[in-house]
A and B are shown apart, each in its own frame.
Chain A
Amino acid sequence: MNTIIMKITIMKSMTPKMLMIMLLSSSALLGCSQKAGDVETIASKHDAEQTVDYQASRNTGSWGAVYMSRDELKAQPINVVDDSSLPNMENDPIISEWEAKFEGSNAFITTDGKKLYHDSCAGCHMHKGEGAYGAGYYPPLANNSKMQSKYYIINILINGFRGMPSFHMMMNDAQMAAVTQYVVSDLNGYTDTVTAEDVAKLRHANPPGYDPSE
């Protein structure tokens, strides 16, 4: 019972900011034609809904009936979870920091080789390219003479290698070139230049899961 009382207290102490947002979001959808004819498009189909409250399914109306009196419910409904304290996502410095990492989608977007390395390879081969050792091992990518051959690296990126998955579908030619360049130069000090054309030469339609060492 205490928690219920506490929650209602929280709701009542909410700022009117939420209400403003809700009113704005509703009014933005007003003004459409109220006539539903056969020519309506999907985009205009909600015209007859009049108002749309995005908070409806978790506001005091849906939630509070059994806890609130008729009079209390007459007040403008507010969100039962107090999101008034949340910054707008675009203005949230913590989100901005992580969006730089996650790039706003489940994909590698950047063509910066250093970032690509620290977003993918480093998961196993570690940030300094030192590799790792457990039941098996992840080979080092730094100070590794095999990295002298850019085509060796590109080949593994495209086809995978034993347990290592292929990046065929996840990185384009420019990205593979950039991350290969980072491994070749920054982690190993070789001077060879890697280009997207180098990658294009090796790319093919279907990467087989074969073991190049066989």
Chain B
Amino acid sequence: MLRCNPLYIQTNDRAYLHRTNHFNGVPQRLGDIKNDIQGHVAELLSKSVNVGGLDRSVNTEDKEKLLEGLKGWGVLDKDYRYRASNETTKHRGFSVFPGGGLMPNEKPSKPLPISEILDSGMWGDIYSNHMTYGHQPTMFQPVGGMGKIGDAFTRECRDMIEFNAKVTKIHQDDTGVTVDYVDSNSPDGATKTIRADWCVCNIHLTVLTQLDINVSKPMKQAMAAVPYDTSYKVGLEFNRRFWEEDEWIYGGLTYTNMPITQIAYPSENMFKDGSGVLLGAYGFGATSYKFNTLTPQERINVALAYGKYIHPQYPKEFRAGTSVVWHRIPWTLGCYGIWSESSREQHYDNLCSIDNRIVLTGEHCSHIPAWQEGAILSGIDAAKRLHKKAKMLG
């Protein structure tokens, strides 16, 4: 059985948006920026409506409704201005939070200037990431992380798995498929062979294109048409969960223009004493190629050097780190298959079709690149099709 946490938090308004060259390099709470963009844009739009800027597009009746909506949505004052008030504070949070007894009186917070928000480019982090379909408010993850799904398969199928088997050749004929392999720990040792009626092959295309495999020319062309993207991650363990204790951040993501690109806060073990683990860096593109070339220790050094400008607690609380760059994983040689519209059009069906007795599976055979979901759905679909074909052949 695989237990799921009720929550995996992708978007948390208490997490930060950060730009080294804006807001004096001070990270800003995602919720503040989101609310302030909404308020400022509502103010500008209502101004445009009020001076007749939209008269060609909205009639008088719609105009009234639009203004009413903008006033409520942007939390504007009676003059349609976005200004600090008790009302705006209900949305973006307090400068001094309300307490009990003779605790300090609550105080409204102040909006940030729209000019600086626009200059910073933080808006892009919101609409490119936080507002996308993948950032649902309710998400689930297995207890212990997504890797537990693979662990569960291993546990259930243990008897069927042969570890450290490096495939060197896949050969099909009219009656079955023969696979040659060697022990990856002694690749010069004896070649072993296994034969079956069918072969479901989930070897990454980066590796598969280097193997001796007899499939049709269209499938071979498809296999060679999928380059693999680059990505890096750094995990950092700290002596205490300062992001929770000091900064009230429970889960979610911080985005920055520094090479670490993101910090992700754990959705597990909240409020626990003792150490906690952050995702201290995660990105793509040229920065990822640069990360690929570093030693594991250097990658941790980079994550610490930059990350401290978001969380100054880093140097004092750091305990241990680890990293992964997918292009350096010997059995993947890359992170995931990159498809374009034209390569899908030309090659996708050929890649996924059953080629006599061989069928390919994996995230590269799905419309959900990089995700386990894509890999598993491709496996389910391949099994269904293979079952049907085997039944037909009797």
Interface members, chain A 129-187 (any B CB < 8 Å): 132-138, 160, 162-166, 170
Contact A94 B305 (CB under 8 A): yes
Given contacts A65-B106, A124-B327, contact A211 B23 (CB under 8 A): no
Given contacts A54-B24, A55-B26, A82-B312, A38 and B51 within 8 Å (CB-CB): yes
C-alpha spacing A110/B105, complex, angstroms: 55
Q: Output the least CB separation between B95 and chain A (Å).
A: 5
B135 at the interface (CB under 8 A from A): no
CA distance A124 to B293 in the complex (A): 8
Measured between C-beta atoms, what is the minimum distance from B150 to chain A in Å? 17
Q: Are B83 and A163 in contact (CB under 8 A)?
A: no
Q: Beyond the given A123-B293, A206-B342, A209-B343, please list 4 additional residue pairs across the A-B interface where CB-CB is below 8 A.
A: A120-B293, A170-B289, A211-B209, A214-B220
14 of the cross-chain contacts (CB-CB < 8 Å) are A52-B110, A54-B112, A56-B95, A56-B110, A73-B96, A86-B308, A98-B302, A106-B259, A106-B286, A120-B290, A123-B289, A124-B333, A163-B209, A209-B227
- B306 — which chain A residues lie within 8 A by C-beta? 95, 98
Q: Does A165 lie within 8 Å of B224, measured CB to CB?
A: no
In the complex, whether B372 has a CB less than 8 A from a CB of chain A is no
**Which residues does chain A contribute within 8 Å of B224, judged by CB atoms?**
162, 209-211, 213-214
B320 proximal to A (CB < 8 A): no
Contact of B229 with A165 in the complex, beta carbons under 8 Å: yes
What's the Cα separation between A31 and B309 when bound, in Å?
30
* Contacts known (A38-B51, A118-B293, A135-B184); A62 close to B230, Cβ less than 8 A: no
Is A123's CB under 8 angstroms from B328's CB? yes
A190 at the interface (CB under 8 A from B): no
B221 and A45 contact, CB distance less than 8 A = no
Among B113-121, B170-178, B379-387, the stretch in contact with A: B113-121
B191 to chain A, nearest CB (A): 15
A-B pair count, CB < 8 Å, reads: 227
Whether the Cβ atoms of A135 and B330 lie closer than 8 Å is yes
CB of B186 within 8 Å of the partner chain: no
Within 8 A of B (CB), among A40-84: 42-46, 48-49, 51-58, 61-63, 65-66, 68-70, 73, 80-83
CA distance A92 to B246 in the complex (A): 24
Q: How far is the CB of B249 from chain A (nearest CB, A)?
A: 10
Q: Which A residues are in CB contact (< 8 Å) with B347?
A: 209
Which single member of A49, A95, A134, A165 contacts B84 (CB below 8 Å)? Answer: A49
A69 to B292, CA, bound (A): 50
Nearest to A139 among chain B residues (CB) is B210
Q: Does B46 contact A (CB under 8 A)?
A: no
| Distance of B308 from chain A, by nearest CB (Å) | 6
Residues of A within 8 A of B28 (CB): 54, 57
The smallest C-beta distance from A26 to any residue of chain B, in angstroms, reads: 11
**B353 at the A interface (CB under 8 A):** no
Q: What is the minimal beta-carbon distance from A93 to any residue of chain B, in angstroms?
A: 10
B-side interface residues, number (CB < 8 Å)? 98
Most buried by B among A44, A133, A166, A210: A210
Name the distance in Å between A12's Cβ and chain B's nearest Cβ. Answer: 15
Instruction: Report whether B309 and A163 are in contact in the complex, using a CB–CB cutoff of 8 Å.
Output: no
Task: Output the residue of B27, B51, B293 with the most chain A CB within 10 A.
Answer: B293
Cross-chain contact A61 with B290 (CB below 8 angstroms): no
**CA of A68 to CA of B287 in the docked complex: distance in angstroms?**
43
A89 at the interface (CB under 8 A from B): yes
Q: Report the separation of the CA atoms of residues A138 and B330 in the bound assembly, to the nearest whole angstrom.
A: 10
Contacts A42-B115, A62-B95, A209-B226 given: A127-B293 contact, CB under 8 Å? yes
Cβ distance B316 to chain A, nearest Cβ, rounded Å: 9
Residues of B within 8 A of A46 (CB): 112-116
B283 at the interface (CB under 8 A from A): yes
Task: Tell me if B122 is interfacial: C-beta within 8 Å of chain A.
Answer: no
Q: Does A114 contact B (CB under 8 A)?
A: no
**Smallest CB–CB gap between B210 and chain A, Å?**
4
